[in-house]
Each structure stands twice: as structure tokens, then as C-alpha cells.
Structure 1
Amino acid sequence: MSERRVPESIRALRSANFRLYFFGQAVSLLGSWIQQVALVWLVYRLTGSAALLGVTTFASLAPQLLLGPLAGAWIDKQDKRRCLIVVQSLLATQALTLAVLTALGWIGPTLIVAMSLLLGVLSSFDAPLRHSLINAFVESREDLPNALALNSMLVNGGRFFGPPVAGLLLGLSSEAVCFGLNALSFMALIFAVLRADGRMPEPVRGPVGRVFKEGARYVWDTWYVRVLIGVVIGVNLTASSYATLLPILAKDVFLGDAKTLGWLWGGAGGGAFLGTIVLTRVRSLARLSQGVVAAVAISAVALVGIGASHLPALAFAGLVLLGFGITVCNAGINMLLQSSTPETMRGRVVSFFMATRFGFDAIGGLAAGLLAAWWGVQVALWIEGVLLFVCLGFLFSHRGRLESDLRH
């Protein structure tokens, strides 16, 4: 693929190794989104419990908050290529087991929570591995922010295409088929990692405890890193928990079915995909930080708007905005952190980012499920919107210092 034929907005794809990695992840992430939609639908179809939706989401994400930073320190000491292949193989086994249990009719709330917990443990290693290896497959350091934006585009492309495909599959077949397809999808990334010839980073030396403490000290002592991680906590504790509430909106508020859920989720995915397209065109860290502030504001407005919606079309529009805001915030902060962090600290900073990104998403999902069970789904969305406006006030008042620190 010649440089002349590759648009500037996707310049990282000029690297053959990154192209392999990119397309391997595309297949794997699509399968993961299909499984996620099928799992929440299975939970609500079997139990009708909003609280159990929150518990399931919490179980699949909470281990990343507890294990993520330690996993990052351990990963920095290992052969990352080999570790990723092993973790992807274990994730495929988890999905296949879930498919078999569901097909045989042996699945129930206890097993669902247990399988979600296993998924969370494996994801604690998978997410930092996949992100920290991006730099190894990109030929030029100047292309790293673009590669990160393209990687985020993959995640959100899966969020856009995966839910409608899952809704269609659920209408034509069953949850077990969705889980089985996800098990197969992991083979694509394993193949890509085996074929790609990347520059693997040298393992960090020293005990895991010392490596972890060095990373934690850097995150806490560096002001802009501490603030950006705090914004990740605020956004994912509130806005990202919409995923837990979507089955309730689809079935109880809009009186729909699995296809309704798929389209609502696809609306958020479409907005997220648009957000990643915007990010591929941003080069300045100062402009990127301004975009993060704007994204928090958009997310807060969207949450309140969805809570006030009584028509699926209005909720769909709100979810497009919400998906856009969450993605620009999370992916933009990831780009800011990786672009401004020393090479020796990148893996550990990424692990802290991932831990807060998914860990507080888990806590937010649990809280959203409980709020919806007590006061209803729309009140839950309003409460989350108000909390995010408080976060926005802090970030807006410190935006000048944030831009200044990132320039240096």
C-alpha cells in the first residue's frame, strides 16, 4: 500500500504490520460486541431484573479496576506478543463455554455472573496488552496518535455494526449462536499477531511490586495525568452506564424487542464511530484537550435528553450524541496520555487508564441498575447527567492549566 494511496487521516495504515493488527482486531472486536449484546439480552429475557443487569455488567468490568494496574506492571515484564496470544485463546474458550452452556439450557443467573467475572479477569490483561502493542506495529512514532484513533474507530465501529447484527442474529437464531461466533472471531487477531513483524518492547526489569509503584507514583505526581484519569472516572461512572439501561429502555419504555435494543445500541455506536473519525483528523494536543472538555458537555446534555425521551427516535438521536461524547472523551484522553508519556512508562499508564475506564464503567453500571430498580430508568439517567455536569464544571475551570501542561 503506497503512501500516495493512503489518506492522511488513516496514515498509520501505511505500515503493513499495523494493517494486519488493525484488521485482526476488527474481526475480534465485532465478535465481542455481538456477545455483549446477546448476553445482556439473555439476562433480561431470563430474569427481567434490572438489578441483575447491573450485577452482570459489574462482574464483567470490575476486575479491571482491581487487577488492571497490577496486570500492567506484570505485562511490562513479559513477552507481550506471546501473552496476547494466550489471553485471546482463553477468551475464545470462555465464549465457546458460554455458547455450549446456553445451547444446552444449563445457563442461569449464577453461571452468567461467573462467566462474566471470568471475562472481566481475562480482559484485565487483554485490554492493556492490545493497546500497549500498537506502538510496536507502527513504523513512525509520529503516526502513533493516528494509530490510537484508528484503534478507537475499530472499537466503535464494532459498537455500531455489532448490536444491529446481534439483534438480527437473536431474531433468527439464539444467544448461543452469537457466543459461538465470538469464539471464532478471536482467531483473526491471533493470526494477525503471529504474522505481523513488530518491534517488541524490551521487558522491564525488577520485581512486579516495584514496577507497579513506579507507575502509580508517576500517575499521581503528574498533574495532568491525574486530572485526565479523574475525567475518565467521572465519564465512565455516569455516561458509560447507559449500556446497562438499554434493555430496559428497549423493552419496558419503548415496548420493543431484541431488534429495538440492537438499533438503540447501534445509535450509540454510530455516534462513537463519528467521534473516532473526528479524532483521526486532530494533530494538536491543545485542540485534543479542548475536544475532551466539549465531549464531556455533550455527554451530560445527552444523558438528560435521553432520560426525557418518550419516543424511540428521540432516544436514538440522544444515544448518537452520547456515543460521540463518550468516545471523544475516552479515546481523546488515551491519545493525550500515550502521546505525552515517556516510553518506559507507557504500558503502566495505559493500564491505569484501562483500569479506570472499565472499572468505573462497572461501578457505574451496577449503580445505574440499582437506581433504575428503585426509581425507574429515566430518573437514573437524569441523576447521572447532573453528576456529569459537576465534573464538567471542574474540568472547564482548569482547562487552561491542562492545555499548558500538555504543551510542555
Structure 2
Amino acid sequence: MSKRINRTSGFSLSAAWRALKYRNYKLFFGGQIISLTGTWTQQIAMSWLVYRLTNSAFMLGLISFASQIPSLILSPFAGIIVDKLNRHKILITTQSLAMLQAFLLVFLLITSTVEVWHLIVLNLFLGIVNGFDTPARQAFVVEMIENKEDLGNAIALNSMMFNAARLFGPSVAGILLAETSETICFLINGISFFAVIAALLAMKIDYSKVIKTQKNVLEGLKEGFKYTFSFTPTKYLILLVALVSLTGMPYVVLMPVFAKNILHGGPNTLGFLMGSIGAGALLGALLLASKKSVLGLGRIVLYTTFSFGVTLIAFSFSRSLILSMFFLILTGMSMIIRGASSNTIIQTIIDDDKRGRVMSFYTMAFMGMMPFGSLLFGILASKFGAPTTLVFGGISCILGSLLFALKLPKLRKAIRPIYSKLGILPELAEGLQTTTNLRVPPQN
């Protein structure tokens, strides 16, 4: 019988760090937080460089589109590869290639040969790398966590790690952009990859436990699609993620416009805005990490999707830096709790041998929709202005949350037997011990 997960569904700060007791995860956590800080430093420098060179909101959207569109195209096939090959080695390869991209940017700026088309090509290259890196990283978390009852905590800590970097990285970028240049930001990012690569190489991996599928590409793709979208919880959670990624998440690409044209600031203002998003996201991740159980996460997804839309609209009307930062803190908090809660539910209920493929569809929804959203936001902002564009995005997220509310009872009914089998609902677990493996999604 599976080990029972904490029966309570409340919060405890003492439980917020429990996944760090696993050596491999601790290494991963430390290496990633350094690398991700560099990544956010580069992302802010990239947006500022593009806007400085072109003064175009459309180009901001196009650059973001180039970096994210490969995830939509490649993720389903990447998921098959992630399920077939060693996820640890995939991550070492993808992190090394991302480091190469950062150093190429440094070379172009040092030699004063950088042009916008270079940035588009290099962001496209990075998007291809991330198309494989993201599902591999999502699936690899499970291999580092020996006890499934700590999986939700590990995912929440991943979000905390990501957003601690989101908080610190933009602040560093703002200072560096004001005092030096984009070159230093890209150089810092390139150097930061040594930390995560070293951490991956230092891990002790039992490769005999790695599950590898033997199916061909088309058969594996068909099986993964059917498994993912024939089960109500994974289907509706992924569809909601796709909607928010298309109409809400691209708000980040318009931050340079708000910093320069709406709030009449410079690189420091952009750093403050992005740092506020990171601060809110970090608080949200800490709150989620302190949650003792996955129970109630569906309701949390609903509430935070709604609040994400509301705070986006509120931010769009602000013309004060302090007020804008306040609304972005709330936006960041809603954003990360919604995303990490969806991820945790999905990771808890799926089978290990299909995890790469399911998470590739999740990546498709999360990262694959954002390029279209970025392009859409760039076009809308050019025609109607950045504030109006964010109002549109906020209303779309609110409507999505209301539709999800209608499906929530159906989700609960479908997930309940799985949680019972895992011991998350202990009162029913004993009666289900002799049933077939209910972790396999039933056919709807």
C-alpha cells in the first residue's frame, strides 16, 4: 500500500522545506536558483536591448514569440524522447546549449555586430533548447523525490526557486543596465549555467530505476495524447493553462512599455516592476510550499485564476509606480499559485512511464501558447495601447476561471478515487486496496 500522505490540508511553515532532505533535489535546487537568476537577468536585458534598438512593442512580442514558439511545435515529440532517454543526461545537454546561447550574445555585443535578426535567431535557438529542457526538468523532479508525499512540496519549491530568481534577477539587471550595458547581463547568465551543470554532474542517479518506453514516435504520441485528454482533470487543467498563457501571461512582454511610456521611467523602473512580480510570486510559492496536502488545490486554481485577471486590469489603470508595484505583487502571487497548483495536481495523478509526454502537453499549453499571446499583445498594444491590451487579457482570464468553476465538481469526482488509492483520502483508501490501479485515468 502507498505511504499515507498527511491527512490535514492546512498550512505549516515547518513543512515548507521538506523536499530539501533529498540530496539530488538539494543539489538541483541550489544550482537552479543561481542559473535562473542569470536567466532572468538576461531576459530583462534582452527586452531592454530590443526596445532600445527598435522602440517597437511589436518587436518585443516578436522576440518573445521566437523564443517560445518551438515549445508548441516540439513539446509533444520532446515528451516522447524524455520518456525514452535518460532525463538527467538530457538536462546536462540542454543546459550546456543554453549557456552557449548566452555567450554568443556576449560575442555579438562585444564585437558591436548585433542586429535584431541575430536576436530573433538566437531566441529561436533557445526556444528549441527549452522545448526539450522544460518537460525533462518537470519529469526529472519525480526521480529526485523518493517519497511521493513530498512531490507537491518539491514542485512548490521549484516555483519558489524560480520566483526568487525572478525577484533578484530583474533587480540586478536594472542596476547593471543603468550602470553598464546589456553585455554584462548576458555574460552573468552564461557564467551562471556552470552552477546548474556542476550540480547535475554531482548527483547520484540510479539509472536502473529509470522507466523507458519502447514505442515508436507516432504510437507514443498517440498514446500520450489519448492518456492526457481522455481524463477530465488533466484535460481541463491543461486547457485552462493554455487559455491563461495565451491571454494573460504575455503581460510581461509589455513591461518595458509601461516602464518607459506609461510610468516615464528607465531601466530601474523596469527592474522594480519585474521585481514586484517576482516578490509576489515568491510569497505565493512560499505559501503553497507550506501547504501540507494537495487537497483543495482545484479550488485554489479557480480563485487564483480569477484574481490574476482582476489584478491585471487594476495594474493597467495605474499611473503610479508604487501602486503599479503593489498590483504586480498580487498578480505575481496569483500567477504562481495558479500555475504550481495545476502542475502539482497533474504530477500527482499521472503514471510515471507517461510523465514526459503528459508534461510535454503541459509545456505546450504553458509555454507554447505564450508566443501567440506575445505576438497578439504586441499587435494589440501597437494599435490600442498597452493598458487596453491588459484589460483584454484580464477579462479573458476572469471568463476562463468562471468556465473552470463549472467543471470543478466533475474534476473532483474523477480525482477522488486516485487520491484515495494514494492515501491522500485515508478514509477511503483501505476499501480501494484490492481494486485495479486507479492511477490509470479512466476512459470518459
Deviation of residue 143 (structure 1)?
Answer: 1.1
Q: Show the counterpart of 1:75.
A: 82
Residue 225 (structure 1) aligned to one of 227, 234, 239: 234
Residues 199 and 134 of structure 1: CA distance in aligned 2, closer, same or farther (over 3 Å):
farther
Deviation of residue 189 (structure 1)?
Answer: 1.1
Q: Show the counterpart of 2:425.
A: none
1:240 alignment partner AA: M
The alignment-based identity, stated in percent, is 35
2:243 alignment partner AA: G
1:136-175 alignment runs, 5 A limit: 136-175=143-182
Q: Show the counterpart of 1:3.
A: none
Distance 2:236 2:169 in 1: 32
Q: Show the counterpart of 1:299.
A: 308
Post-superposition Cα deviations, 1:47-76, rounded to whole Å, max 9, x if no partner, equal 100000000011101110111111111121
Deviation of residue 207 (structure 1)?
Answer: 1.1
Contact 2:248 2:394 in 1 (8 A): yes
Post-superposition Cα deviations, 1:172-191, rounded to whole Å, max 9, x if no partner, equal 21111111111111111111
Does 1:332 find its partner at 2:341?
A: yes
1:262-301 alignment runs, 5 A limit: 262-301=271-310
Deviation of residue 286 (structure 1)?
Answer: 3.5
Does 1:315 find its partner at 2:324?
A: yes
Q: Which runs of 5+ in 2 are unaligned?
A: 1-12, 418-444
Distance 2:149 2:75 in 1: 27
Deviation of residue 275 (structure 1)?
Answer: 1.1
Post-superposition Cα deviations, 1:108-164, rounded to whole Å, max 9, x if no partner, equal 111111111111011001111112111111221211111111111111111111111
Post-superposition Cα deviations, 1:265-284, rounded to whole Å, max 9, x if no partner, equal 11111111111111112243
Structure of larger gyration radius: 2
Q: Show the counterpart of 2:106.
A: 99
Deviation of residue 406 (structure 1)?
Answer: 2.1
Deviation of residue 34 (structure 1)?
Answer: 0.6
Residue 245 (structure 2) aligned to one of 229, 232, 236: 236
Distance 1:59 1:147 in 2: 30
Q: How many residues align?
A: 403
Deviation of residue 387 (structure 1)?
Answer: 1.3
Residue 378 (structure 1) aligned to one of 376, 383, 387: 387
* TM-score, normalising length: structure 1: 0.96
Q: Show the counterpart of 1:249.
A: 258
Distance 1:401 1:64 in 2: 30
Residue 396 (structure 1) aligned to one of 391, 405, 417: 405
Does 1:368 find its partner at 2:377?
A: yes
Distance 1:108 1:225 in 2: 42
Post-superposition Cα deviations, 1:277-308, rounded to whole Å, max 9, x if no partner, equal 11112243341111111110111101110111
1:178 alignment partner AA: C
Deviation of residue 343 (structure 1)?
Answer: 1.4
Contact 1:137 1:197 in 2 (8 A): no
Q: Show the counterpart of 2:61.
A: 54
Q: Show the counterpart of 1:115.
A: 122
Distance 1:32 1:262 in 2: 14
Distance 1:94 1:145 in 2: 32
Q: Show the counterpart of 2:70.
A: 63
Q: SS of the counterpart of 1:284?
A: coil
Distance 1:198 1:26 in 2: 21
Does 1:86 find its partner at 2:93?
A: yes
Distance 1:214 1:199 in 2: 27
Deviation of residue 82 (structure 1)?
Answer: 1.5
Deviation of residue 398 (structure 1)?
Answer: 1.9
Deviation of residue 314 (structure 1)?
Answer: 1.4
Distance 1:194 1:363 in 2: 36
Residue 222 (structure 2) aligned to one of 195, 204, 213: 213
Post-superposition Cα deviations, 1:206-249, rounded to whole Å, max 9, x if no partner, equal 21221121111111111111100011011111221111110000
2:217 alignment partner AA: V
Q: SS of the counterpart of 1:76?
A: helix
Farther off after superposition, 47-56 or 131-140: 131-140
Distance 1:262 1:126 in 2: 27
